[in-house]
Structure 1
C-alpha cells in the first residue's frame, strides 16, 4: 500500500487538481486565493459562526442542504480531530485527501510555549487538548501530522518573529522538519501584489521532502513606497533574525523578495472604489441606527469607467458580479463626525482631526457670542456645545484612531475592529463625509464583488478585517502549486485544467 504522500503525488502527477483544507479559515481569504490558483476546496475550520457560514456560502453553495449545514457550522479546532472533521465532510480516507493545508492561527495564540511543548505535539499528539495556552497554532501542527499534506502555508502577523524576544516561527519550522517538511518563511506586504492596501504579513511555507525542489516566494508585482511606520514594524519583527553570522543558529528566514525593475505603481484607493456609487443619505438624516442588513441593492456608479482593478473585482471567475451590490452599507455616526470628515484633509490622523475640531468649536463660540447666546466655560451650555464639536478621545493616546484615506495611495491596514468602528478608514471624498462601506472594505482587501458575507454589517466588517487578502494568497499559491504539481500553470498544461469545484468527490 502506498504511503499517503506517495499516493497524493501520483494523483497530482496524473493531472488531478490539488485539494485544499483551510484551518482558521475565516470567511475564506486564503481559500479564495488558492481556489483561483487551481485548488478544489475540501472545507474549512472556523470558530466564528458568521465567518464559517460565509465560507460555506462561497465555496460549498452547490452541495446538498445537509452537507452545506455541516460546512456552515462553526468548528472548534481544539475539539474536533482531523479525521473526524473530514469524515463529517463525507471523506472516506482522510489521510489520502488533503494536498494543501493552509491557515492563519489567530495572533493571541502566541504564548511562550517553547521547544519542549512543541516537540510534545509530535510525540504526544493529544497534549494540546489539555493546555489552554496552546489551543490555536498547536492543533495546526497536529493536523499536519495527521493529514500529511504535500505542502502547507501558515500566515500571521510579523510579531510572531519577535514575541517577547521569542521567534516562534523557528520552533514551528523545527517541528515541521521533524515531520518531513522543508520550511522557509519571510515577511511580505499585500500592496506589492496588487492589493490596494498596505498589509504586512508573516508567511511560512512547508513542502514535503518527497516533492523535491524549493519554494520561492513570488517577486513583487508593484513598486510601493511604504510609510516609515511599516519599516519600523518590520525592523522590530526582524530584530532577532541573524542571517550573516556563521556562528548564529540556523534560520529558515529568507529576505523579502525584491524586484528592482518593477515600475508598475500600486493599486490605489481611488482605483479600488471610484466605480462604487456615492453614499450621502446619512447627511440628509436618512440613515437610522441599528443592525444593517444586506437587503438593499444598488448599481455601479454610472459614467465612471472602472479601473483594471475594479474590472477584476467585477469579473473574478466563479465570483462574478450580477450587476448589483447588496452590502454597500455604512455605519451611522454623529453630525460632529460628519462635520469633521468633510473638513479633514486626506492623510489627516486623529491629532489633526482633534486640532481641527478645536478650531471649529472656537469659531462656533464666536458665532454664539455675536448672536447674544454666549456659552461660558463651566456651564452646561458650554459643555454640550463642546461635545457637539470635539471628540472625547485623548489625541496623545489615540493617534491612529482616525485617518482620512489618501485616494492616490493604497489604504493602510484594515483591522478587525472595523466591526466596532471604522474611523481608521474615512472615505477620501469630502462630499460624502463618511467611513467605509462593507463592500468598500471588501474591495480594499481584494474580495470580488460576487463574494458574499454572512450576517449583518458588524460581523461582515469583522470578517473582512480578519481576512487574508485573496490576491496576496493567489500570488503565494501559484508558485506553490507549480512546485507540487511539477508542471507550469501556463501554456498547454493550464489549458487542460478543469474548472474549480467546491466539493471533492469521495
Structure 2
C-alpha cells in the first residue's frame, strides 16, 4: 500500500478495481456512414437538431433533450465518455480530436453532406486562458520573428468557434467555469463574442448559480448564449433550492464496514418504503427500472477514515479533528492539519452539496455522506449532478466518477437551452444590437483623443512608446491639473529611451517635490540603459528594480498596448450605466466584470477602448456631477444621470491619472 502524498502514516485498504461496465448503444444510435439516412428519413427527420462538442458523458446533451432538441452528433476524445453518450442518446457519438484540423474537417463535412439543418451548436470547450505573459510573448514573436498570428489552432475553443462558423446554426450555447474569465481578463470570452457578432449573432454572457435551477450543489458556471433569429434572452425564474436530503435521501442505506466493499452495481430499491419521495427524487426515478438502483457503490472505507467519519459533523474542519479524536487515535489524522485544513468535508442533509468535480474520481474526502461512514456513491454523485437513475456510465467506478464530475448538470443545461428556443414573436431588446456600433464609436473617439492633447492617456499612438507608458504609470495616483500633466508627459513624447537628458527634463518638469521624488525612486535605476527600452517586455524585466506597484504595472501594460482589462470602480461604473444596472455597487467581481467585457470587446483596438473607458470613468462618468455632454457613450447610455448644470461640459479641467 503506497504512502499517500502529504500523509504521516501508511494506512490503506485492499487494492481493488471495479468491473468495467459495457453498455449497449441507444436504439436510435447511428454510425457515421448512415448519418445522411438518419437525418433525411430516420430518427432525426423533422426534429430540432443540435450538435454537442466536447460532450463528455452527455450532461449538456440531456439538458438539450429536456428542452426539446435532439442531439444529432456528439464529439469527445474520452473513449469512456463517448461510450456513455452512445448508450444514452440517439445520433452519432464520435471520438474525434477537434484540435486536429483533418479530423475536424471530416466531422464538419459529414454534417454538411448529410443535409442536416443544425439548429444549435452547444458544448463546453476546454478554454485554456491566455496568461498576460503568454499574450505578450505571442505578440512579441509576431512582431519580431514573423510568426503567424493565427498559429493557435490547437486551442480547442478556436476549434469550437470554427465549427460554429462553418455550420452557422441558429443558436449557440457555450458553458464553462468562471475562472476561465477571471484568469485572463476574459480575453477568450471577448474574442469568441466578437467573432460571433461578426457572424450576425447577438450574444449574452451570464454567470449562473446552478442551484437556482434545482441543481443541489454549490456551482457557478459561465454561460455564453448567441442567436441570429431576432430573438432575445429570457431566463426562467429561479426555482426553490433542492437540498441534499431531497436529492439522495431516498437511496438505500449501505451500512459500510471498514475494509469491506461498499454498495454494488445493483442494489434493491423499494418504492413502497419511499411513499413520500421528494419531487426531485420522483423525477430522478422516472423511467428507471423498478425495484433496483444501479451503480450505488463507492470505495472501501479505511479503518482510520471510518473513525474520523464517525466523529465529524458537517461543520467540522479537518484541522479540528484532533480535538475530537482520542489520544491513541490522533495517528488517524494522517494529513498535515495546517496544510489540509478542509481535506475532509461531511455533507449536510439540509444544505447543498459541495461542487461535484472530476477530483471525486481520485478520492471522495470532500463528499462524505451526512449519516453513513463512507463517501458518496456513483449514483449519489450522479443525482447531485441531476443525472436520472436510468442514466448509466460506461467503464469502471473511477471512469464513472470522472465523467460525472466533468459533466454539465443536465438541469442547468436545460435552463440555458430554454432561453434559446425559437420565439413565435421575437422579443429581443433592441439594445442588445448596439454593442458593435457602441464599440466602434468608442474606438473612434479614443483615437481622436489620442491624436490630440490627450495622447498620453491612450496606447499605440505615434507619441506613446514604452517609456511614455512607464512614466504615465509612475504618475498614476497623483492628481494633476491637465497643464501640469501635459508638461511632464511632453518631455517623453515619441522618445524610446530614458537618457540622462530626458530624465533631468522630467525631474525639472515635476510640479511638486513629492512627484519629483517619485520619479527619482522609480526611474533612477534605469537611466541611460538602452537594453531596458527594447520593448514592453524588457521594461517589465526591470520592474522589481524600479519598485513598480501592481496598479502601476497594470496601467503600464495597458498603455504599452497590452490587452488588459483594468477593473476599477470607475470603469465598472461606466459599464454598469451603459447596461442600466448597478453591478458596480453590488456584484463587482461577477456581473460587473461581465458588463465591462461587453463594452470592451476584443481585437486590435481593445487596449485603446479600455484606456478610453478608464479615462471616461475617472474624468467624465463621475459618481456625482457626470459630464455627459462630453462622453462618447451618452447616446447609448439609457441611465444618463442628471448633469450638474454648473459643470462645464468638457474634461479640460483637471485630469486624474490613476
What TM-score range do you get, normalising by the shorter chain?
A: 0.5 to 0.7
The match for 2:639 is none
Name which of 273, 280, 291 aligns with 1:303.
273
Distance 1:135 1:307, change over 3 A: same
The answer to whether 1:355 aligns with 2:322 is yes
Distance 1:405 1:472, change over 3 A: same
Q: Cα distance, 1:131 vs. partner?
A: 3.1
Matches within 5 A, 1:273-288: 273-283=248-258, 285-287=259-261
Task: Calculate the TM-score normalised by the size of structure 1.
Answer: 0.67
Name which of 334, 343, 364 aligns with 1:391.
334
Higher relative contact order (CA 8 A, sep 6+): 1
| Equivalent-residue separation in structure 2 for 1:18 and 1:128 (angstroms) | 38
Q: Report SS of the residue matched to 1:313.
A: helix
Contact residue 157 and residue 200 of structure 1 kept, 8 A: yes
Q: Cα distance, 1:487 vs. partner?
A: 9.0
Q: Radius of gyration: which is bigger? A: 2
The match for 1:195 is 215
Matches within 5 A, 1:362-401: 362=327, 364=328, 386-387=330-331, 389-392=332-335, 394-401=336-343
| Equivalent-residue separation in structure 1 for 2:309 and 2:151 (angstroms) | 50
Task: Calculate the TM-score normalised by the size of structure 2.
Answer: 0.53
The match for 1:93 is 113
Matches within 5 A, 1:408-447: 408-429=350-371, 432-447=372-387
Q: Cα distance, 1:24 vs. partner?
A: 0.8
Q: List runs of 5+ in structure 2 lacking aligned partners.
A: 1-44, 140-147, 428-658
| Equivalent-residue separation in structure 1 for 2:398 and 2:206 (angstroms) | 32
The match for 2:243 is 268
Deviations 1:442-475 (A, max 9, x none): 0001000001101111010011111111011111
Contact residue 96 and residue 104 of structure 2 kept, 8 A: no
The match for 2:392 is 452
The match for 1:137 is 157
Distance 1:440 1:182, change over 3 A: same
Q: Which moved more, 1:108-117 or 1:299-308?
A: 108-117
| Equivalent-residue separation in structure 2 for 1:390 and 1:300 (angstroms) | 38
Contact residue 27 and residue 55 of structure 1 kept, 8 A: yes
Deviations 1:176-195 (A, max 9, x none): 11122111111011101111
Name which of 85, 102, 113 aligns with 2:122.
102
The match for 1:372 is none
Contact residue 196 and residue 444 of structure 1 kept, 8 A: yes
| Equivalent-residue separation in structure 1 for 2:103 and 2:368 (angstroms) | 43
| Equivalent-residue separation in structure 1 for 2:255 and 2:366 (angstroms) | 19
Contact residue 162 and residue 168 of structure 1 kept, 8 A: no
| Equivalent-residue separation in structure 2 for 1:480 and 1:37 (angstroms) | 9
Distance 1:323 1:116, change over 3 A: farther
| Equivalent-residue separation in structure 1 for 2:271 and 2:342 (angstroms) | 31
Q: Cα distance, 1:346 vs. partner?
A: 1.8
Matches within 5 A, 1:141-156: 141-156=161-176
| Equivalent-residue separation in structure 2 for 1:41 and 1:95 (angstroms) | 15
Distance 1:323 1:403, change over 3 A: same
Q: Cα distance, 1:326 vs. partner?
A: 1.9
Distance 1:47 1:486, change over 3 A: farther
| Equivalent-residue separation in structure 1 for 2:131 and 2:156 (angstroms) | 10
Q: Report SS of the residue matched to 1:93.
A: helix
Q: Cα distance, 1:332 vs. partner?
A: 1.5
The answer to whether 1:215 aligns with 2:233 is yes
Q: Cα distance, 1:308 vs. partner?
A: 0.7
Q: List runs of 5+ in structure 1 lacking aligned partners.
A: 1-14, 64-69, 119-126, 223-265, 365-384, 489-506
The answer to whether 1:34 aligns with 2:34 is no
Distance 1:81 1:177, change over 3 A: farther
Q: Cα distance, 1:300 vs. partner?
A: 4.2
Distance 1:396 1:136, change over 3 A: farther
| Equivalent-residue separation in structure 2 for 1:98 and 1:150 (angstroms) | 8
Q: Report SS of the residue matched to 2:202.
A: strand
Contact residue 341 and residue 433 of structure 1 kept, 8 A: yes
Q: Which runs of 4+ in 1 moved over 4 A?
A: 80-83, 107-118, 127-130, 485-488
Contact residue 197 and residue 411 of structure 1 kept, 8 A: yes
| Equivalent-residue separation in structure 2 for 1:386 and 1:345 (angstroms) | 17
The answer to whether 1:206 aligns with 2:226 is yes
| Equivalent-residue separation in structure 1 for 2:426 and 2:171 (angstroms) | 15
Provide the aligned C-alpha RMSD in A: 3.0
The answer to whether 1:161 aligns with 2:161 is no
The answer to whether 1:75 aligns with 2:93 is no
The match for 2:312 is 344
Q: Cα distance, 1:282 vs. partner?
A: 3.0
Q: Which moved more, 1:333-342 or 1:198-207?
A: 333-342
Name which of 78, 97, 109 aligns with 1:48.
78
Q: Cα distance, 1:217 vs. partner?
A: 3.0
